[in-house]
Structure 1
Amino acid sequence: MRSLLAAALAVLLVAPPAHAHGTGVGFDLDAATIPQLVRRLDAGTLTSVDLTRAYLRRIDTVDRKVRSVLAVDSTALAQAADSDRRRKRGHARGPMDGIPVLLKDNIDTRGLASTAGSRALSVPPRDDAELVGRLRAAGAVVLGKTNLSEWANFRSTRSTSGWSATGGQTGNPFVLDRNPCGSSSGSGAAVAASLAQVAVGTETDGSIVCPAGQNGVVGLKPTLGAISGDGIVPISVEQDTAGPMARHVVDAAILMSVLDRRGDDYRAASSPSSDGLRGARIGVWRKAGASPEADRVVRDSVSALRRAGATVVDVELPYQDRIDAAEFPALITEFKRDLERYLATRPGAPRTLSELIAFNEQDPVELSRFGQELFLAARDAPPPTDPTYREQRRTTTTLARRSIDETLAAHELDVIMAPTNSPAWKTDYAAGDAYVLGTSTPAAAAGYPNVSVPAGFAGPLPIGVSFMAGHRADAKVLRFAAAFERATRARQAPRYLPTLP
């Protein structure tokens, strides 16, 4: 008992909670939403400099254990001071002005890291990705870059999520030796640990919603094309998208409103006055039997939905075996094409996948944890003109869309709910990732929106549920996520336990 108490105290000394006494801003960072912060900023009881300094202080202390932040922007406080001057003159640019945000390190950020976790991308980019430009135009404070599963988890068949050669291993802030999931592992863990108000992740299939689920935060994988992919290290432009990660649905909606290249405003979707769950028809794709803990959380979530007035219908999404068979080989072909296009834009980087493979073979760190089997497969994959590839892509996208569209129509549903994740596995380089349960593929392959929101726990480990719907239904899934969040209040702050008892 004494040794357990000592271990817990040691962790708490390094990883203090985000409550008022640990932040220097006089309130709980973990619980604060962007609208609450904006009210304080407007009233003059808080400055962006103070808020940014509080998050930098937590990065300096808490992140020693979590290791989610790969690089800090040395201009962050200057950006915050600029925001304070704008606000003082009455020229605040909107709700993101002065709000600190972290960016996944596969997003080009002028002069700052942007490594995709690889030592091969050691020279920073000359320009910001388009989404970074939108954040700067909105007045957001670019606080730094988050660690990720290297190359967005598309290098090895036996990879360990949250590890990169440039950032090391990110831990899960709820239980530090458990995995944060990938590839937006640093973004999910950093938001959970209150190291920034919000973060941006990216997803090809699961890389936003899985780390959101396993780190107990909100993560939106938007409709494909809603956010510009310019300046983001790709896997496949057929499925890749950036998306917001936050502790609260309202913050994800505000960040999405800035990131959306179409100018859509999602703030109303998360308003308490917006339509709730009463009268809604929700399909539940249980994926039962894989994880007893996830099964229990889904049952509890269904009960909460029914108490709130929703009708819940059990559904099965069709075509999943055919989608699974076609998606991966399609991505392998697309990866080489799209990555080499990106590499041509980066100073000092290898220009081809073959050159990148050779770099990794010579580097003392890159292959120290796992190999590059996917790189080798992509190097030798059929070209995008190959008829077999073209059929694989057509099958993947068409059947994924049908799986959601037909299910929604057949049962007259508003949205489909599914478990996001099973409890986080213990990080183990010999075994690699130990996925048990995931439901990201239909929305990811279809290019449809999917949002994960905290739903419950397995002991101290979070489990989320996802809401998905059809093309450009981003506001709808955010509205249901916000209503579910209000109905359940399931999210808790992490405890930074060193391991499970």
Structure 2
Amino acid sequence: MTLVSGRPTVAGIDLERATIPELQRAMDSGPLTSAELTGFYLDRIRLLDPRLHAVITTNPDAPRLAAESDDRRRARRMLGILDGIPVLLKDNIDTADRQRTTAGSFALAGSRPAADAHLVERLRAAGAVILGKTNLSEWANFRDRRSSSGWSAIGGQAGNPYVLDRNTCGSSSGSAAAIAANLATVAVGTETNGSIVTAAGANGVVGVKPSIGLVSRSGVVPISVVQDTAGPMARTVTDAAILLAVLNGPDSGDPSTSDSPARPDYLRFLDPAALHGKRIGLWDPTGGTSPETLAEFARAVDLLESSGATTVEVTIPGLDVVGRTELPSMLHEFKHGINEYLAATPGEHPADLAGLIEFNKANADVEMGFFGQELFEEAQATSGDLTEPAYLSMRAEATGAARRGLDDTLRAHRLDAIVAPTNAPAWKTTLGRGDDYRFGSSAPAAVSGYANITVPMGFVGPLPVGLSIMAGRYSEPTILALAYAFEQAARARRPPEFLPSC
């Protein structure tokens, strides 16, 4: 096997190119086993992660899970297309095993979830090998306004595999960096606003922010009961579609999933000709801040049109309202949600948000060496619960404006989807100074609760930039199909080079 020099290969298989169906065929025919694939990734994590800080912990049970999958294969009792496939989880997703769930904070080092998150239950039922937990922006980037994406007290600062001193963006930073660096086949991230798509875009991988209600949030450390979701991160749209099909499903513990559509096979929607005859809205959210990204976007638009799509320039109204009301709404939701999560989670940890604030003060040397906890304190200062009329009015404004903005734009121009640049090239990480986001395109889909996917679009120098494709609620079949067609035409992804700087 080849770990670092050249392309990552195991049993003669190029893991940069191989999709899950191809890995399954190799395991069926004999050149590859789940144990060998899992061992390869564990070795690669040991070799590469000291430079990346993308993985907080590996699962001591992963070799056993892989061996059990190989036993099922020999007995012809496979559990599905994800059986035997190594999956990494963002470390704000509960597992009731020998791994911790910390959200990157030492405050949860003694936390011991009593049950797997619902999505982890689904992964285990599908035979996936839970490989480990990925680093993240501590508390999913909801602790301070000057936080650094990809930094947590437990995991340190995650590095971008393309240029190591550049930021990983988004709070699903470790999941994105790990998949870019081929430390697992696929990973699960979470998003409240941008945490999947911006991290995926900056690390040159595919990220799906599902519609709210498609994937259960039970057992995920919360920020917003209205906007939180988990979703797939992968090197290809094919693998993201396979993972989404396993994550998708109703959960009695999460009422938002009560009308979740059962679509166990998203692969059937993947068509290289899917762009032909479609009407696509072109949205430029950059405000002129990233001409290099816009140049890549222009090339992507040419490709959309040459693939048979009709494009229409659009603007999305109401984003000023979203910008004014989203964060105040989330401050209320975070206090309520984190207090509820802590009360329900066994182990030694602070009892509530007030306790977390005091923990950080008492452990400021490890927790607050680079930035503080302004958002924690603002959330703690909110009053009332989530039935307060003032909160409900503010949340209705935020969600309503985002939904009207997307719905009206899609309807007025008879669009199948809207595309936009996902990210500018990643900035150089400067701990203590906060993030240097130039623009974002995640808010309309995030705040409305609608579907969004990012797919590699191109490069600015050595740094990847992504193309976001968004549409209405439960439009995953449409956006996956369009992303697949673009991916097959563009072939924009290339492996990272682990450059020290640029």
Match of 1:319 in 2: 318
Tell me how far 1:287 sits from its aligned partner: 2.1
Match of 1:5 in 2: none
Tell me how far 1:259 sits from its aligned partner: 0.3
1:351 matched to 2:351: yes
2:489 to 479, 487, 490: 487
- Decide whether the 8 Å contact of 1:269 with 1:478 is kept in 2: no
Tell me how far 1:268 sits from its aligned partner: 2.7
- Cα gap change, 1:62/1:50 in structure 2, threshold over 3 Å: closer, same or farther? same
Match of 2:277 in 1: 279
Alignment-mate amino acid for residue 141 of structure 2: N
Match of 2:378 in 1: 377
d(CA) in 2 for partners of 1:294, 1:232: 33
- Cα gap change, 1:125/1:16 in structure 2, threshold over 3 Å: closer, same or farther? farther
Secondary structure of the residue aligned to 1:365 is helix
Match of 2:361 in 1: 361
Alignment-mate amino acid for residue 22 of structure 2: Q
Q: How does 1:228-377 map to 2 (within 5 A)?
A: 228-261=216-249, 262=260, 263-269=262-268, 271-272=270-271, 275-288=273-286, 289-346=288-345, 347-363=347-363, 364-377=365-378
d(CA) in 2 for partners of 1:466, 1:335: 27
Tell me how far 1:269 sits from its aligned partner: 4.8
1:65 to 4, 27, 51: 51
Q: How does 1:101-140 map to 2 (within 5 A)?
A: 101-111=87-97, 112-123=99-110, 124-140=112-128
d(CA) in 2 for partners of 1:221, 1:266: 18
- Cα gap change, 1:136/1:17 in structure 2, threshold over 3 Å: closer, same or farther? farther
- Cα gap change, 1:16/1:147 in structure 2, threshold over 3 Å: closer, same or farther? farther
d(CA) in 2 for partners of 1:236, 1:135: 24
Alignment-mate amino acid for residue 496 of structure 1: F
1:193 matched to 2:181: yes
Tell me how far 1:265 sits from its aligned partner: 2.4
Tell me how far 1:172 sits from its aligned partner: 0.2
Match of 2:475 in 1: 473
1:141 matched to 2:129: yes
Tell me how far 1:429 sits from its aligned partner: 1.1
Alignment-mate amino acid for residue 13 of structure 2: F
Alignment-mate amino acid for residue 373 of structure 1: E
d(CA) in 2 for partners of 1:392, 1:331: 10
- Decide whether the 8 Å contact of 2:271 with 2:481 is kept in 1: no
d(CA) in 1 for partners of 2:484, 2:58: 31
Alignment-mate amino acid for residue 473 of structure 2: H
Secondary structure of the residue aligned to 2:337 is helix
- Decide whether the 8 Å contact of 1:172 with 1:215 is kept in 2: yes
2:18 to 25, 32, 35: 32
- Decide whether the 8 Å contact of 2:118 with 2:216 is kept in 1: yes
Deviations 1:214-254 (A, max 9, x none): 00000000010111100000001100000000000000000
d(CA) in 1 for partners of 2:165, 2:210: 30
- Decide whether the 8 Å contact of 2:3 with 2:44 is kept in 1: no
Match of 2:8 in 1: 19
- Decide whether the 8 Å contact of 1:25 with 1:54 is kept in 2: no
Match of 2:430 in 1: 428
- Cα gap change, 1:205/1:398 in structure 2, threshold over 3 Å: closer, same or farther? same
- Decide whether the 8 Å contact of 1:249 with 1:270 is kept in 2: no
Secondary structure of the residue aligned to 1:423 is coil
d(CA) in 2 for partners of 1:477, 1:454: 14
Q: Which 5+ residue runs of structure 1 have no aligned equivalent?
A: 1-12
d(CA) in 1 for partners of 2:268, 2:3: 37
Match of 1:9 in 2: none
1:94 matched to 2:86: no
2:197 to 209, 221, 232: 209
Tell me how far 1:271 sits from its aligned partner: 3.1
d(CA) in 1 for partners of 2:71, 2:232: 27
d(CA) in 2 for partners of 1:17, 1:375: 45
- Decide whether the 8 Å contact of 2:210 with 2:230 is kept in 1: yes
Q: How does 1:35-50 map to 2 (within 5 A)?
A: 35-50=21-36
Tell me how far 1:14 sits from its aligned partner: 9.3
Q: Which 5+ residue runs of structure 2 have no aligned equivalent?
A: 250-259
Tell me how far 1:40 sits from its aligned partner: 0.7
Secondary structure of the residue aligned to 2:465 is strand
- Decide whether the 8 Å contact of 2:270 with 2:480 is kept in 1: no
Tell me how far 1:267 sits from its aligned partner: 2.8
2:165 to 161, 177, 181: 177
- Decide whether the 8 Å contact of 2:222 with 2:334 is kept in 1: yes
Secondary structure of the residue aligned to 1:305 is helix
- Decide whether the 8 Å contact of 1:170 with 1:185 is kept in 2: yes
1:81 matched to 2:67: yes
Alignment-mate amino acid for residue 56 of structure 1: L
1:161 matched to 2:149: yes
1:456 to 444, 455, 458: 458
Tell me how far 1:32 sits from its aligned partner: 1.0
Alignment-mate amino acid for residue 109 of structure 2: S
d(CA) in 2 for partners of 1:184, 1:194: 16
Alignment-mate amino acid for residue 480 of structure 1: L
d(CA) in 2 for partners of 1:37, 1:432: 40
Alignment-mate amino acid for residue 386 of structure 1: E
Tell me how far 1:134 sits from its aligned partner: 0.4
- Cα gap change, 1:426/1:19 in structure 2, threshold over 3 Å: closer, same or farther? same
d(CA) in 1 for partners of 2:158, 2:280: 35
- Decide whether the 8 Å contact of 1:201 with 1:242 is kept in 2: yes
Tell me how far 1:422 sits from its aligned partner: 0.4
Deviations 1:323-378 (A, max 9, x none): 11010100011100011000112221211111110000001301111100000000
Secondary structure of the residue aligned to 1:490 is coil
Tell me how far 1:382 sits from its aligned partner: 3.2
Alignment-mate amino acid for residue 418 of structure 2: I
Tell me how far 1:392 sits from its aligned partner: 1.1
Instruction: After the TM superposition, list the runs of 4 or more consecutive aligned residues in structure 1 that deviate by more than 6 angstroms.
Output: none
Alignment-mate amino acid for residue 287 of structure 1: P
d(CA) in 1 for partners of 2:184, 2:5: 15
- Decide whether the 8 Å contact of 2:163 with 2:500 is kept in 1: yes
Secondary structure of the residue aligned to 1:62 is helix
RMSD: 1.3
d(CA) in 2 for partners of 1:438, 1:185: 16
Q: Percent identity of the aligned residues?
A: 52
Q: How many residues align?
A: 484
Normalising by structure 2, we get a TM-score of 0.94
Stretch moving more, 86-95 or 123-132? 123-132
d(CA) in 1 for partners of 2:162, 2:281: 30
Match of 2:253 in 1: none
- Decide whether the 8 Å contact of 1:250 with 1:270 is kept in 2: no
